[in-house]
Chain A
């Protein structure tokens, strides 16, 4: 195929590589440039392999814990080391294994399942991966400095404040994990946009593979659920570095505020981990039953319900903290209620099983293991939702047993099913069925031996996190058996690793669609080309490979579809309407680049330097990161032309309207930012409501400057609206003027807000500190608005933007509007404090 089909001349838009074929344009870089790859296949695999490496490390730490507890009075680990080991076990498993590896699978699979040639923001994927890798390295490197965190994976205050945890161990956790969380949030925004904006022609929301629904809801949950922890971590780090008293009860702070912020993240986190894994089950199960998933619509409804209701459960981790009984009852009710959508999914899986005679392959065994173990974990979850029982079982090994039944049953078993199921897709070879069954039974028996007994250990009163215990109080034999069980479980994992390495050379060749699956990732032969589709086929059903015989009936590259011609020698895929799936644009995709990696590295230097108190280096890292983002975005625009996409579609390239993938990404980013702001407002209202005496001691904001800040916010809002209209009208000169106006309004907003609370002492009361933190967050957004407007103006002044290329201004308008509303909300809160008083 020739690469170029009469490329038109138009200003600013790159011509790509006109002499290359489509295979060459999409070829993966080799040698050192392999690190510059932005392909979702490469990035997805990196997430999976890195996540698995963290799993092995965290699993090894778990074995140390179990070995310490094998007999009473053991001195294998001293108390301090034991605290470090169980803290790092939980931290690595929750933050650096579970979510990243599931996101890795989503990054790898979603484009192929939906009919896209790549993820919609490939550079963002690469950036997210390196943030994750560097963040993980920062956290792990704490061992090298003998400063591994030891405050538990939940980092409760006041234990983790300077008074009780001097040194930098807590800083390693707070900074490293926050950095790694950037990867999760960026991947979430990318997955939301990819699922909504880059599907095959005709793939409406109701025709999406069920896995895409699970990932879509999970991504929204990450976007809303991670911000409370990010804010909490920043507040705690500010407490440690600057002495700001957010959690100090002597000046109106509250350790429970940390718990609220942590569990506002921490409980949805459990469902963020469970849902993608359940999505894997819902994908694998129909393949081996040979029938579609039973009750697709019911499952979609259940997943949406679970996504929402899981945000109403956070305080059930705080039943023993002295909250009002009425609050406990509310959270108890919500915690019980979440069992309903969970049950709907489980019954849908069982009904799918009942539709046919399943093939009991290794992936299916792990799916059955999931059903058995997760249901038990769910039932003990309902028990723990009951306040009186929770009071008895709290912080005992019963809870340890429950959470491992939920997380290992609900996530690790489906994950191993996924390893066996999709390994042929990744490596081109089948893993051993015989060894796979051994792996399953070792893991299943080992898991139950380890954790089932812990229910009993907990009911006999053994508390969590103790480094040792006296003999003769009924815990000895149970702990011994649990430890032996953990070794069996580890043997299963070790055998899996052996099988995986073995199959890379000696596994049977997989061929095309080896499991007879119905979803589109199996359209091409395994270990395919560097991209996904020569032509993107129209999709009319949820199992296109089952229902469209043309797909597997001919060579994959010959399947009919859109985008067969490559016009400008550029990587591109089809963009769709978010609801109907109708093609609406051609999306241009970037080629391999090191820029995101260097940007992530610069930020990693900034974060690491902060831990080392090398603040000039930290500032240099931030400046270098900003420069990286600038270089990243300083590229010719692709908008402004239309191209023939085939099959009767003539489509704009990177269209300028609300359904554009970049605009939806801007809205998605605003969702994350509002969740961050919401967390700060929660903190403000919480401290104001719980400590009225200290609120009364906080200086009120200045009425005049507060009013002026709201006026400036209103001006910014109006300017943003005008900016949108100017962008749509494509008036380049006027748009430059509007950019400058936005810059001035942003400066005015920041100055007025700061002057409004200039008399408020951030060290005087926790409420005052939180007011300044809120101001800092809004000011950061105003700075981004300012920088973006400056950037857009500079591009126009230097002639980088031509006619029909106003997409950056269109998106800036949305961001500026969102920021202006933040100013109005913050100004409104300050105004209420001024008029109503803080007392």
Chain B
């Protein structure tokens, strides 16, 4: 793969990590808070934290170690940061809520 190709991946990976994390958190809340009650709150919380750590690292990785080549390095760093912060934002409700809240 060319250096530019790797940089494009560096732009894409944090975005995909955020999307996967958002879907995971939404699915966990739905699994815990819908009438079916597939999982309980502690499990939702635990899985949410695991997903956040995994996808957070994936989102930040290109920011910490951007692929070689100067053309898109700034964009990769900014994009990775935005998505990492967005991942953090999305998990905050799980951390600060004690339950589904009605």
Given that A205-B4, A305-B82 are known contacts, is A327 also in contact with B33, CB under 8 Å in the complex? yes
Report the separation of the CA atoms of residues A330 and B93 in the bound assembly, to the nearest whole angstrom: 6
* Nearest CB on A from B20, distance (A): 11
CB distance from B89 to the nearest CB of A (A): 4
CB-CB under 8 A from A549, the residues of chain B are: none
The reply to whether A692 and B35 contact each other, CB–CB distance below 8 Å, is yes
Given contacts A308-B15, A334-B89, A580-B4, whether A689 and B82 have CB atoms under 8 Å apart is no
Q: Closest chain A residue to B94 by CB distance?
A: A326
Give A329 to B100 CA distance when docked, in angstroms.
Answer: 10
Interchain CB contact (< 8 A) of A206 among B4, B83, B102: B4
**Nearest chain A CB to B9 CB, angstrom units:** 10
B50 CB-CB contact with A under 8 Å? no
Question: Given A330-B25, A334-B22, A580-B4: A301 and B85 within 8 A (CB)?
Answer: no
Query: In the complex, what residue of chain B is closest to A306 when comparing beta carbons?
Result: B82
For residue A751, CB closer than 8 A to chain B, the reply is no
Q: Contact check: which of B32, B79, B100 meets A304 at CB < 8 Å?
A: B79
Q: Give the dominant DSSP class at B's interface.
A: helix
Contacting residues, chain A, for B75 (C-beta < 8 A): 297-298, 300-301, 304
Do residues A325 and B101 form an inter-chain contact, with CB atoms below 8 A?
Answer: yes
Give A292-304 as 1s and 0s: 1 = Cβ < 8 Å from B's Cβ atoms.
0001011011101
Kindly state whether residue B19 has any CB partner on chain A within 8 Å: yes
Contact with A along B87-102 (1 / 0, CB 8 A): 0011011101101111
Is there an interface contact between A326 and B18, defined as CB atoms closer than 8 Å? no
- Interface-central residue, A298, A326, A332, by most chain B CB under 10 Å: A326
Tell yes or no: B31 within 8 A of A by CB.
yes
Q: Are A297 and B78 in touch, CB under 8 angstroms?
A: yes
Docked Cα-Cα span, A101 to B78, in Å, equals 31
Bound Cα distance A689, B39 (Å): 12
* Distance A689 CA – B28 CA, assembled complex (angstroms): 12
CB distance from B59 to the nearest CB of A (A): 11
Q: Determine, out of A337-345, A364-372, A397-405, A474-482, the stretch whose residues face the partner at the interface.
A: A337-345
Q: How far is the CA of A580 from the CA of B93 in the complex (A)?
A: 42
| Chain B residues within 8 Å of A340, by CB | 82, 85-86
Q: Is A324 an interface residue (CB 8 A)?
A: yes
Residues in chain A near residue B96, CB distance under 8 A: 329
Nearest chain A residue, comparing its CB with the CB of B96:
A329
B100 and A691 contact, CB distance less than 8 A: no
8 A Cβ contacts from A522-578 to B: none
A324, B100: Cβ atoms under 8 Å? yes
How far is the CB of B4 from the nearest CB of chain A, in Å?
A: 5
Q: Say yes or no: B78 contacts A308, CB within 8 Å.
A: no
User: In the complex, what residues of A have CB within 8 A of residue B58's CB?
Assistant: none
B89 & A337 in contact (Cβ 8 Å cutoff): yes
A333-B1 Cα distance, complex, nearest whole Å = 37
B34 touches A690 (CB 8 A): yes
Name B17's closest neighbour in chain A (CB-CB).
A308
Contacts of B5 in A (CB 8 A): 579-580
A311 proximal to B (CB < 8 A):
yes
Q: Mark B30-43, 1 if CB is under 8 A from A, else 0.
A: 11111110100000
Question: Taking the complex as formed, is B72 at the interface, i.e. its CB lies under 8 A from any CB of chain A?
Answer: yes
In the complex, the 7 A-B pairs of residues with the closest C-beta atoms, listed nearest first: A325-B101, A329-B93, A297-B75, A301-B79, A297-B74, A206-B71, A324-B33
Interface, chain A (partner B; CB < 8 A): 204-206, 295, 297-298, 300-302, 304-305, 307-309, 311-312, 324-327, 329-330, 332-334, 336-337, 340-341, 344, 579-580, 686, 688-692
14 A-B residue pairings within 8 Å (CB atoms): A206-B7, A295-B74, A298-B75, A301-B78, A301-B82, A307-B15, A309-B86, A325-B101, A325-B102, A326-B101, A327-B33, A330-B93, A340-B86, A341-B82
